[in-house]
């Protein structure tokens, strides 16, 4: 989990209050507010409740009393209970701890994804129509094309849909209703290789192992480390690279 240093601005406070009613649907049923709570008190309680919800997934157990004491001291203009030198020391120690834990989690998840991907590719290679290239890329022809094939230096326009092994869709130009155009040598290696196998008008399914996709880092939060990806790609147009005079 990423640890972000966040500042709550006036705009941020307003945004917290502007959350749709659905955002409250998972909270427990409210108890009756004390009659003494005026609008300011209720608003303050609202902010406190939402701030606490932001901290629920914090990667360590917090001390609510110390947290509230810090808020009270800061709002009252009182000096902090811990001096700045000690605060910075604690911050650096905790950041190091968080980073170590994050690396452990990424490595653990990467190992699981890698094993699942390898098992999938072994079985997938046995299926009729699935071809495997020397790099480890697998592909299946859904529709043959009739035009020319692109070079790595060309620009192509495609429609595509990308999913994880469990079927989770992480990207789709089809859903957006707009094909995508890009230089073929500026995308993941599995695409650079796979699309050069396709003639214009073809539609292929590409099975891309992690070393030809996003590797150990993953991408965008949805694509985890060492994830094997599946793409359905339709090659709509090839724009040859302009030759240099």
Structure tokens, 83:
């001096």
Average pLDDT for residues 74-87, to the nearest whole number? 91
Cβ contact 205:232 at 8 Å: yes
CA distances from 24 to 20, 41, 49, 203 (A): 8, 19, 10, 44
Query: Average pLDDT, stretch 9-21?
Result: 43
β-strand partners of 161: 172, 232
pLDDT tops 90 at residue 235: yes
CA distance 43 to 38: 9
- Please report how many Cα atoms fall inside a 13 Å half-sphere around the Cα of residue 174, on the Cβ side: 13
Of the pLDDT bands very low, low, confident and very high (cuts 50, 70, 90), residue 7 is very low
**Contact (CB, 8 A) for 214 and 188:** yes
Q: What is the pTM assigned to this prediction?
A: 0.67
Q: What are the residues whose beta carbons fall under 8 Å from the beta carbon of 38, sequence distance 6 or more?
A: none
Residue spans of alpha helices (H) in 39-83: 39-55, 64-76
Q: Write out pLDDT tens, residues 191-228.
A: 999 999 999 999 999 999 999 999 998 997 899 999 99
Mean per-residue pLDDT for 150-159?
96
What are residue 203's DSSP bridge partners? 143, 234
Measured distance CA(230)–CA(206) in Å, rounded? 6
Structure tokens at 65: 């009393």
Catalytic (active-site) positions: 160, 170-171, 188, 214, 231
25-73 pLDDT tens trace: 455 555 655 567 888 888 988 888 888 888 887 777 888 899 999 999 9
Q: Any idea what DSSP says for residue 23?
A: G
Q: What is the pLDDT of residues 47-58, one digit of tens each?
A: 888 888 888 877
pLDDT at 20 over 50: no
Sign of torsion, CA 151 156 159 164? positive
């Amino acid at each position: 989990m990423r640890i972000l240093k966040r500042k709550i601005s006036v705009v941020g406070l307003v945004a917290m209050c502007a959350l749709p009613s659905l955002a409250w649907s998972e909270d427990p049923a409210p108890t009756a507010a004390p009659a003494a709570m005026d609008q300011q008190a209720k608003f303050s309680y609202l902010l406190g409740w939402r701030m606490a919800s932001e901290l629920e997934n914090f990667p360590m157990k917090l001390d609510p009393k110390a947290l509230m004491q810090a808020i009270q001291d800061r709002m009252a203009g009182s000096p902090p209970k811990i001096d700045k030198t000690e605060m910075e020391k604690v911050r650096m120690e905790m950041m190091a701890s968080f980073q170590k834990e994050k690396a452990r989690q990424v490595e653990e998840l990467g190992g699981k994804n890698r094993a699942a991907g390898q098992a999938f590719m072994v079985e997938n290679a046995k299926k009729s129509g699935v071809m495997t290239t020397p790099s480890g890329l697998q592909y299946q022809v859904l529709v043959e094309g009739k035009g020319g094939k692109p070079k790595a230096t060309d620009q192509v326009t495609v429609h595509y849909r990308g999913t994880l092994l469990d079927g989770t869709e992480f990207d789709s130009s089809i859903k957006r209703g707009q094909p995508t155009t890009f230089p073929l040598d500026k995308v993941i290696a599995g695409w650079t290789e796979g699309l050069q196998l396709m003639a214009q008008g073809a539609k292929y399914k590409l099975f891309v192992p992690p070393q030809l996709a996003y590797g150990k880092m993953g991408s965008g939060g949805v694509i985890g480390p060492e994830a094997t990806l599946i793409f359905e790609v339709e090659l709509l147009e090839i724009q040859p690279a302009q030759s240099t005079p």
